[in-house]
Amino acid sequence: MLISGIKSKPVYSPLEADTRGRYHLMLAIGGAATALERVLGQLSAADPDALTRSRVLFAPDRGKAAAGSATATPATAAAVGFFAAWPQLDVRLYPDIPALLAALRVLLDESLMGTRLYVAAPESFIGRAVQLALEFNMNQDEIRAEALGSLARRVHCIHCRTTTEDVRTNIVECGGCGRWLLVRDHYSRRLAAYMGVMVDAESPGERPAVQEIFP
């Protein structure tokens, strides 16, 4: 039922450094942080000073850290250990994804042309980060992303325009209007969401079985 071959579905590839960039802004979520290893290696090989113009924003994948301590989760502790190999790098830790995105907005507003954005994260976070970068008119040749971890989707109801988070199943009950939505591959970068279309509009109540397809 899922229509494949839809062109708007984002395609990700393993992260590579863009050594033509002058400033490098990297976002890492949870265990996906290790995908930055190649980028950091390539940048420092191309220019020993490149890492002094680089910055990493990190947040753990899920759950909030204990109050007052950004390093309380095991994922954060692991990331601190991982980034310790690049002492010149400015690494900033955030307790959760909303805090990281709020900091990203401030940083993008201060950033200069010549900045490249790298995202190592589950797909739903990549979408949120790219959506924010688009607000600052960053184009596709300034953004690189590698999707790692959960395939859970943000689903935008085309009927009531509510976005339902963390959808792992082929059909989902809309958090806004309660319609059962078929989760499509049709993606909007502006909304950072896949489109959900009422699945039983033509034959009310006739729905396929709910299956987890985005683990």
Radius of gyration of the chain, Cα coordinates, nearest whole angstrom: 19
Q: Nearer Cβ to another protein, position 64 or 105?
A: 105
Q: Nearer Cβ to another protein, position 142 or 173?
A: 142
CB of 88 to another protein, least distance (A): 18
Contact string 13-52 vs another protein (x = CB under 8 A) = -------xxxx-----------------------------
CB of 148 to another protein, least distance (A): 25
CB of 20 to another protein, least distance (A): 6
Q: Nearer Cβ to another protein, position 142 or 200?
A: 142
Per DSSP, 209 falls in state P
Long-range contacts of 60-68 (CB under 8 A, 24+ apart): 60/29, 60/30, 60/95, 60/96, 61/29, 61/30, 61/31, 61/32, 61/122, 61/149, 61/150, 62/30, 63/96, 64/95, 64/96, 65/95, 65/96
CB of 101 to another protein, least distance (A): 16
List binders of another protein among 83-142 (CB under 8 A).
108-109, 111-116, 136-142
Q: Nearer Cβ to another protein, position 101 or 148?
A: 101
Q: Nearer Cβ to another protein, position 5 or 190?
A: 190
Give how many residues touch another protein by CB under 8 A.
Answer: 19
CB of 144 to another protein, least distance (A): 11
List binders of another protein among 194-213 (CB under 8 A).
none
| Sign of the C-alpha dihedral computed for residues 133, 13, 140 and 160 taken in this order | negative
* Dist. CA 182–CA 174, nearest whole Å: 10
Distances (CA, A) of 205 to 99, 181, 196, 209, 210: 40, 12, 17, 12, 13
CB of 129 to another protein, least distance (A): 14
Give the strands of the sheet with 171-173, arranged side by side.
163-167, 153-157, 193-198, 180-188, 171-173
Q: Nearer Cβ to another protein, position 13 or 203?
A: 13
Distances (CA, A) of 57 to 11, 31, 96: 23, 13, 11
Q: What does the binding site for another protein look like in residue numbers (CB under 8 A)?
A: 20-23, 108-109, 111-116, 136-142
